[in-house]
Amino acid sequence: MRVKNSILNISAGIGSQIIITALSFVSRTVFINSLGIEYLGINGLLTNILAMLTLAEAGIGTSIMYSLYKPVAENNQLKINVLIKFYRKAYMIIALIVLLLGLALMPFLGYFIKDSSVEHIYLIYSIFLFNTVLPYLYVHKNSFLNVCQKGYIVTGIYSVSAIVTTILKIGILKYTGNYILYLIIDSTITIITTIILTTIVNKMYPFLRNKVTEKLDSETKSNITKNVKAIVLQNIGNYLVFGTDNILISSFVSVAAVGLYSNYNMLIEICRTFINQIFNNIYHSVGNLVANENVDKVYSVYKVYMLLNFWLYSIFTIVLLNTVEPFIKLWIGSEFIMSNGVTIVLMIIFYERGMRNSISTVKTTSGIFYEDRYAPLIQAAINLIISIVLVQYIGIVGVFIGTLISALAVPFWTTPYLVYKKVFHKSVLNYFIKYAYYVVIGVATYLLTSMASSFIVADNFLKLILIGFISFIVPNLIYVGIFLKTDEYKYMFGIVRILMGKFTNKSKLNQTSA
């Protein structure tokens, strides 16, 4: 059942993401042509500033989701209702805090924005703030469906919502060029989506509407409080690492530079989102696995997860390295290209951060929050110090070098250490040997793929597609040859074979009945 639910969630996610990605390119192209690079920079900057306010969430959601795995697995409806009630009340308070903090920050916007001629910045910021607060009013419904491994329902609703929103935004930019109206569309569609999602969840799980007078037991409340204290420190650290890049670039370089980076970041995030359609849905299956199975079973599945993690992230890194610059050049012009050094550093960050998915999933679903509560703050301090110093000497690439060094200095070591010690009860050396093995294979594969595609000059989209095809197919063939006889590959291939068998049988039945 865990595998079936994961596949349903993954299939729904990838299918919708293909459509949304295609529309996002059209939307970004129309955005740049209608409003220009400066508005693109403002868009990225305000997103980063408001991400800072979401630190008020303080990890309550993550902690409560962890607490929900066991009662959901046991179908303990009373415990589920008590937790959901607590979850809903907590997020109402958080929504109010974020709103008040956002309003308090408004007078200081001028300190973050350098060399900008964008008008109505305070109105734009207010709409961004409203769109940030709104999701807190219904996030508990999404989280419950995800814990129940019904994420494909959330994905389906959000996909339709995103497609409708994007089409309307494209139309608004094309025919009016009105950025304010462009932003208001988000608010309108979000409200409609909230009503639809709430109605569906209430029909699927009518017990969630039962009145609850019971309060959380002291043990659960104590665990949530302990985890929240740890996660708030982690959230602050993570924001200072990943959420301040645009602010630093805007403050030390320019808003236009934020716009240039945002195109690269969009392509990277599209790839990350595709991969996360797989891993975000597996995440809740791992949570269910940790709650029900023994350590050996969890470890064996984790090894499969790590191989899949490497396989996907290394291939997407190789494809991006070979195609991102020529794609941007053909798409919107050579004036939007950044230096080759920026591209390389961004790709290394993408790979390193992605390779932590498997180990981080086990860590989070096992409830390990408190032990490394200070690690993100240490990482953030390293990141900010190095980034601020380097950006003044070597420009925008210095910001990303700071991010990379801080990641390699802290979570690269601490996360696997805690998981191997507290969950697997094995030496963490096993992890680093396997990691180094994957790095060697990935680098060698990239060099071979880069050599094979170097004979093609990407001066049109057809040739670029050919380079992308080579960058995707060659690594897959190499990996199959290397991992064919491993237990991890056999496990993955076994799942694919079972699913293909079910699909074939279903097709035959449909043909027979027809």
Last residue of a domain, one of 186, 211, 245: 245
| Domain match, 344 and 449 both | yes
DSSP state of 241: H
**Average pLDDT in the chain:** 80
pLDDT tens for residues 441-481? Answer: 999 999 999 998 888 888 888 999 999 999 999 999 999 99
Give residue 368's domain range: 293-483
Q: Residue 263 domain-assigned?
A: no
| Domain match, 357 and 297 both | yes
pLDDT tens for residues 252-269? Answer: 777 778 878 888 988 898
User: Chain centroid to CA 139: how far?
Assistant: 16
Does the model's pTM come out above 0.75? no
Q: Which is it for the CA torsion 486, 296, 410, 347, positive or negative? A: positive
pLDDT tens for residues 307-362? Answer: 989 999 999 999 999 999 999 999 888 888 888 899 999 999 999 999 998 898 88
| Domain match, 122 and 210 both | yes
| Domain match, 178 and 298 both | no
Q: Which residues fall within 8 angstroms of residue 402, CB to CB, at 6 or more apart?
A: 382, 383, 384, 385, 386, 387, 388, 390, 391
Q: Residue 281 domain-assigned?
A: no
If one compares 410 and 278, the residue with the highest pLDDT of the two is 410
For 218, how many CA atoms within 13 A lie in the half-sphere containing its CB? Answer: 0
If one compares 498 and 21, the residue with the highest pLDDT of the two is 21
If one compares 179 and 38, the residue with the highest pLDDT of the two is 179
| Domain match, 311 and 222 both | no
Q: CA-to-CA distance for 503 and 2, rounded, in angstroms?
A: 18
Q: Residue 396 domain-assigned?
A: yes
Q: CA-to-CA distance for 499 and 11, rounded, in angstroms?
A: 12
Rg (the chain; Cα; Å)? 23
pLDDT tens for residues 92-130? Answer: 887 888 888 888 888 877 776 766 667 788 888 888 888
| Domain match, 318 and 426 both | yes
Q: Residue 280 domain-assigned?
A: no
Q: Which of 422, 411, 405 is nearest to 372 (CA)?
A: 411
Count: domains in the chain: 2
| Domain match, 203 and 313 both | no
pLDDT score at 165: 86
| Domain match, 172 and 303 both | no
Confidence of residue 422 (pLDDT cuts 50, 70, 90): confident
Q: CA-to-CA distance for 160 and 153, rounded, in angstroms?
A: 11
| Domain match, 221 and 302 both | no
| Domain match, 8 and 154 both | yes
Q: Which residues fall within 8 angstroms of residue 335, CB to CB, at 6 or more apart?
A: none
**Three state DSSP letters for 439-503:** HHHHHHHHHHHHHHHCCCCCCCHHHHHHHHHHHHHHHHHHHHHHHCCCHHHHHHHHHHHHHHHHH
Confidence of residue 508 (pLDDT cuts 50, 70, 90): very low
| Domain match, 102 and 8 both | yes
Q: CA-to-CA distance for 416 and 84, rounded, in angstroms?
A: 31
Q: Residue 278 domain-assigned?
A: no
Residue 511 above 50 pLDDT?
A: no
Residue 503 above 80 pLDDT?
A: no
pLDDT score at 290: 59
Please list the alpha-helical segments (H only) found in 333-374.
340-355, 357-365
Q: Residue 507 domain-assigned?
A: no
| Domain match, 384 and 459 both | yes
Last residue of a domain, one of 182, 215, 245: 245
Q: Residue 469 domain-assigned?
A: yes
Q: Residue 250 domain-assigned?
A: no
User: Chain centroid to CA 427: how far?
Assistant: 29
Q: CA-to-CA distance for 401 and 342, rounded, in angstroms?
A: 9
pLDDT score at 506: 45
DSSP per-residue codes, 426-443: S-THHHHHHHHHHHHHHH
Determine what percent of the chain is predicted with pLDDT higher than 70. 82
Of 12-16, 235-239, 388-392, 396-400, the poorest mean pLDDT is in 12-16
